[in-house]
Amino acid sequence: MPPQLPDDVVEEILARFPPDEPALLVRAALACKAWHRIVSGAGFRRRFRQFHRTPPVLGFLRNVGYGKEFARFVPTSTFRPRRADWGGWRATAASSSTDVARFVRATRFYPCRGERRDFRALDARHGRVLLASMPWEPGLKVQGLEVWDPVTDELWELPDVPHPHSPTSWNAAVVCGAHGVCDHLDCRRKPFLDVFLDSRPKKKMRLFVYSSEAGTWSEPTYGPPSPTNGVEMVPPALVGNALHFLIDATYIILKYDLATRTVSTIFLPDDFISDFAALTTTEDGRLGFARVEKRTAKDNRFTVTCIHDHWSMDRSIVLETLLNVDACSIRNDCVAFAHGVGVFFVGTDVEWFSIDLKSGRVRKENYGDGFNYGVVPYTSFYTPGIALLGP
Amino acid sequence: MEVDKGKGEAEETRKVAEADRDTVTLKSSDGKLFEVSKEAAARLSTVLAGMIAGGSIDDNGTDLKQIGSEALENVVDYCNKHANSIPSAALISSSISFNTAPFKEPEEWERKFVDRLSHDALFDLVEAANFLGMERLLDVTCHKISEMMKGKSPDQIREVFNIKNDYTKEELEEIRQELAWAFYDD
């Protein structure tokens, strides 16, 4: 029989468990109560995050339509959120079409609520997911916004978005409230901000900020005039203290500085013709975008471009060979980026792939059924909660 | 230059040599002596670095009462192998930029080094690495242990670590239901 290891050595071992295998920590917690106390303690939680630094992609939220639209959490790990279905939010109308935000796993983790009917996932950052309640009707009218933490299953319903807002041209972001001072490794218990961008035709774009601490929406901050083609509903990117919204892929990126509460614009290159792109960030804090370009039926070139001093091509990948799929099936409106880890998601008519740019690893993700409206990657650390042990 | 020396002279030469020796002698709990490169010991172990800097190294063997001879032999072996290996880009970058690159996968020789250890020897080595403040060796040994834990049930984990289950059946069942995702078979 091997001798028992002292607690501090056990902690050293558990802190080095790979964060993309969250089930290992849960099983370790079930070995004995002392181990459970170690992994569910605040000290370990902090230590684990500081040791690994980069939160893994636990999964992604897939916006799926049945008939018209449906959203889901698709796990890419083994983690599963707790509320897999949201009874209170089921469609009230006897409609043949449904929208669901569905969690798809990338690790084992799966949240309690793996599926949200009549919801659409808009953004995810710092362990939280932003969902919009959107019972199907013409346009994209938002009924309400919610912020959800799939790991702890905490849910915050936000007060009504300031009205009137454009029913079809808007976007929103969720971000930790302590910008500039937080390292975002363990801030899920801290206040958050939600930034709502409204783009009404023939009026100036406006931004409203909801603070969970204050519990209210701010007065609007005005930006440039609304674009004719509307706001792209793709997850915004955070670089430093600034959120970047893709306004219209043929036009501009709107930059909102959370610290100074000011708006500025970044012009996209003149030859930018794609109608869909995902905003990307690099480790050294550069903003860029990725898009799938279909030059010809045979050439589905997936390009990643970074904004630096000027727009320049950073990288170009030919998806057809990399994914070994029929080029015609690659969709140009299904591309997403997991910030921090540098993982892209690309969809075809029948499959989802994740592409890790650093390691070159390509993985086929669980697809499921329904029609894809895009994915929102979810990156977070998972450590078992204290609640498991009871009083 | 081969010159005959008197006893006193030889003693003098030995003392001078020891003062700038490039190795240190470590003594295990069971009294065995091991020589290790001073440079590697200071670079890889915060505890040994402190002792060398503070002059508390004993030329006749620095007592490490918490570490058995087998574990100490492995520690010394690791240090010497490390001293001989080409400084890897991985280690250089982790020392420069801890914030972005905290953990680097074990290198091939490190992997082989821990793979050959018995279960007990591996656990003893983790304890020794922890005691001596050897971050990299902790990384490598703990990485091996976490690999051993993959696919293991809580029962099997208890067996590996020799720990007693102090949960009730009901408590275990409750957690299993709560976190069912962590328990389905691989």
Residues A362, A75, A233, A286, CA torsion sign: negative
Mind listing the pLDDT tens digit for each residue in A125-160?
A: 999 999 998 765 555 567 789 999 999 999 999 998
Mind listing the pLDDT tens digit for each residue in B59-99?
A: 888 899 889 999 999 999 999 888 776 554 444 433 333 33
Q: How many CB atoms lie within 10 A of CB B93?
A: 13
What mean pLDDT is predicted for residues A262-280?
A: 80
In contact, B166 and A31? CB cutoff 8 Å: no
| Residue of A150, A48, A36, A151 lying closest to A386 (CA atoms) | A36
Q: How far is CA A59 from the centre of its chain?
A: 9
For a pLDDT cut of 70, what percent of chain A falls above it?
83
CA angle (A15 as vertex; A240, A106 as ends), nearest 5: 65
Chain A hits for B162, CB-CB cut-off 8 Å, are 1-4
- Whole-angstrom distance, CA of residue A334 vs CA of residue A345: 8
The answer to whether B161 contacts A75, with C-beta atoms less than 8 Å apart, is: no
The answer to whether A33 contacts B161, with C-beta atoms less than 8 Å apart, is: no
- Whole-angstrom distance, CA of residue A280 vs CA of residue A306: 8
Chain B hits for A9, CB-CB cut-off 8 Å, are 126-127, 130
Chain A's closest residue to B125, CA to CA, is A9
Give chain B's end-to-end CA distance (angstroms, integer). 68
Could you tell me the pLDDT band of residue A98, with boundaries at 50, 70 and 90?
confident
Q: Is A8 on the interface with B (CB under 8 A)?
A: yes
Shortest alpha-carbon distance between residue A278 and chain B (Å): 24
The partner residue sitting opposite B179, judged by closest CB among A5, A26, A34, is A26
One DSSP character per residue, A351-385 reads -EEEEETTT--EEEEP--SSEEEEEEEEE------
B21-150 has CATH 3.40.50.300 classification? no
Average pLDDT, chain A: 82
> At residue A84, does pLDDT exceed 50?
no
Q: Is B118 on the interface with A (CB under 8 A)?
A: no
Residue B99 is predicted with a pLDDT of 34
Which positions ≥6 away from A124 have C-beta within 8 Å?
Answer: A61, A130, A174, A235, A376, A377, A378, A379
Tokens 């003693």 sit on residue:
B11
> At residue B21, does pLDDT exceed 90?
no
The number of C-beta contacts closer than 8 angstroms across A and B is 115
Shortest alpha-carbon distance between residue A290 and chain B (Å): 23
For a pLDDT cut of 90, what percent of chain A falls above it?
37
The answer to whether B146 contacts A13, with C-beta atoms less than 8 Å apart, is: yes
Shortest alpha-carbon distance between residue A328 and chain B (Å): 35
Chain A's closest residue to B163, CA to CA, is A4
The partner residue sitting opposite B103, judged by closest CB among A10, A52, A388, is A52
Chain B hits for A21, CB-CB cut-off 8 Å, are 150
Mind listing the pLDDT tens digit for each residue in A179-235?
A: 888 888 888 888 999 999 999 888 999 999 999 999 999 999 999 988 887 888 889
- Whole-angstrom distance, CA of residue B90 vs CA of residue A135: 51
